[in-house]
Amino acid sequence: MEELSVRRVRRARRTRGVWITLGVLIALGGVSIGALTRVFQAKRGEQTGRATPVGVFGTLNDMAQVALEPTGGFVGKNRVNILCMGIDDNWTDSDQVYTAHARTDTLFLLSLDLAKRQASMLSIPRDTYTHIAGTRSSTKINAAYAMGGPERAVATVDELLGVRADHYLVLNIDSTKKMVDALGGVDVNVEHEMHYHDKWGHLSIDLVPGQQHLDGATAVGFARYRHGDAGAKISPEDGDERRMYRQHILMRAMIERAKGFANVAQAPHLVDVAMSTIQTDMTRTQLFDLAAIFKGLQPQDLRTASLTGEDFRGPKGEWFYRLDQDKADAYVRWLIRDDQTAFRSLIPVVVQDAAPDSGAAARALRQLQSAGYDQARIGAAPNSRTVDTAGASSTDLQTATTQIVDQGVVSAQAPQDIGAVLGLSDPSVRREAVRPNRRGWTPPASVVVTLGSDYPSAQNTDQKSASDAGDTLKGQD
């Protein structure tokens, strides 16, 4: 019986997966601050004293302390890094929830560029094997919080990635449910059928493919679901990738919902819900500062990525996740350090040669790899009828204009950057998401480049394109 109980606890922890820290959304989406600034247009009130955890408050007078120039909470800082943690609740035999010694079920760094008003979200797989700061233990990173609270989790992430978070924010599953409901639900596109029922793990979900409007409970289930199409079994590695992928989908959906929320009368209630369910070392003024700064954030402007690696089994048969350290470093340089070329090593690029020059693909590959696109490769030449754009025949497009198709890679600026690296003045760029396979899992996205006769054939293209690419990235800063 004892062995069975242990199995049930482990199973509950594996299936009580991802849910989105919507409290961060409230700080970014500007739901309440957008309403506030339209009503008050008030200056910040002075605050003194030590920073204390945020509690319940919900009057517009409290919110009116936010200034029209909301930087007082972060004097001297251009960037703020926040470690966001979702607590893995447990249940007793009598079905009572408790969080004592809970592990983090969701863990990500939110990096906010206050000057550029740019937000980046870097998810850390919960099973990542690492040393726990301040201890002699090496285990899953989600144990850091249980072993020493948010401060130890912050220190452990610092050891792992070399990023010291300025602040932390902690929520539990019920927080997300309440806040999605406070927003009136969210709209998401369900990729494939989702059917799963786990009484012990408090998860029950039945969704069909297509655009769906989800309430709080269903949204949490959507983000926690870790299986393939209609419950097909997948590897633990794929399961965690799915969970983080849906985190990002739900985060964007909530930002989109918040953008259209302009009911001033409901703003105090939204803030009450958000602030009563989070634990943080930020003051309420700092949270309102962030909300005011990022109230114009568009869902597509939230840069999101998940650290990659591979599964492995420990000596006792338990599953761990080993990060690809080179890629982890690149993600940190790109999303946290704002190195605008670091993303190149993370983008798979497939070069197809449809130009008359038979050596074009090999030359393009050399250019891309020299510029840092380490994952570039040559693909099979496309069939003359595989490209179709209104107003021109497929053959004409393939022989005249280079086609760059973004299948949904981590950087939205990659297609334009690739065009600049290749010395193309006006390539055709479009987005075409990769479709899920038969198991319901979406294959890794790439940028597919089909070279046309507009691709420069001069031998000095390498030097010119490298210069053009640098100018392009500078112009996007």
Residue 260: its pLDDT value, please?
A: 63
> Which uninterrupted H or E stretch holds 61?
helix 60-63
Q: What is the DSSP string of 272-294?
A: HHHHTS-EESS-HHHHHHHHHHT
Amino acid letter for position 62: D
Class of domain 342-476: alpha beta
Residue 242 has pLDDT above 50, yes or no: yes
| Cα(38)–Cα(195) distance, integer angstroms | 43
Predicted TM-score (pTM) of the model is 0.70
pLDDT 10s digits, 53-87: 343 333 344 444 444 455 567 888 899 999 998 88
Task: At 329, list the tokens.
Answer: 């470093």
Q: List the one residue out of 184, 175, 171, 178 whose CA is nearest residue 256.
A: 184
Q: Which long-range contacts (CB under 8 A, 24 or more apart) does 87-92 make?
A: 87/145, 87/170, 87/171, 87/172, 87/173, 88/13, 88/16, 88/142, 89/16, 89/172, 89/173, 89/174, 90/9, 90/12, 90/13, 91/12, 91/200, 91/202
Q: Where does the pLDDT of residue 21 fall: very low under 50, low under 70, confident under 90, or very high at 90 and above? A: very low
Dump pLDDT digits (tens) for 305-330. 889 999 999 988 999 999 999 999 99
User: pLDDT digits over 93-122, tens only?
Assistant: 554 554 556 788 889 999 999 988 888 989
Give the model's pLDDT for residue 33.
37
Name the helix (H) or strand (E) containing 349. strand 349-353
Pairwise CA distance, residues 60 & 22, whole Å: 21
**CATH 3.40.630.190 location in the chain:** 2-336
Nearest residue to 247 via CA among 215, 224, 228, 217: 224
If you count them, how many residues does the chain have? 477
- Specify the pLDDT at position 28: 38
**Judging by DSSP bridges, how do beta strands 447-451 and 349-353 pair with one another?**
parallel
Per-residue tokens: 43: 């200056």
Rounded to whole angstroms, the Cα distance separating 123 from 302 reads: 13
Token couple for 236: 């633990």
Distances in whole angstroms, Cα of residue 177 to Cα of each of 62, 128, 215, 254, 422: 25, 26, 8, 12, 47
Q: How far apart are CA 286 and CA 291, in angstroms?
A: 9
Q: Which residue matches tokens 């030097």?
A: 463
443: amino acid identity, one letter: P
Q: Strands 104-113, 79-87: parallel, antiparallel or unpaired by DSSP?
A: antiparallel
| Residue 180, CA distances (Å) to 214, 281, 306, 357 in order | 9, 23, 23, 55
Q: How far apart are CA 168 and CA 461, in angstroms?
A: 47
Please tell me the class of the 2-336 domain.
Answer: alpha beta
**CATH 3.30.70.2390: which residues of the chain?**
342-476
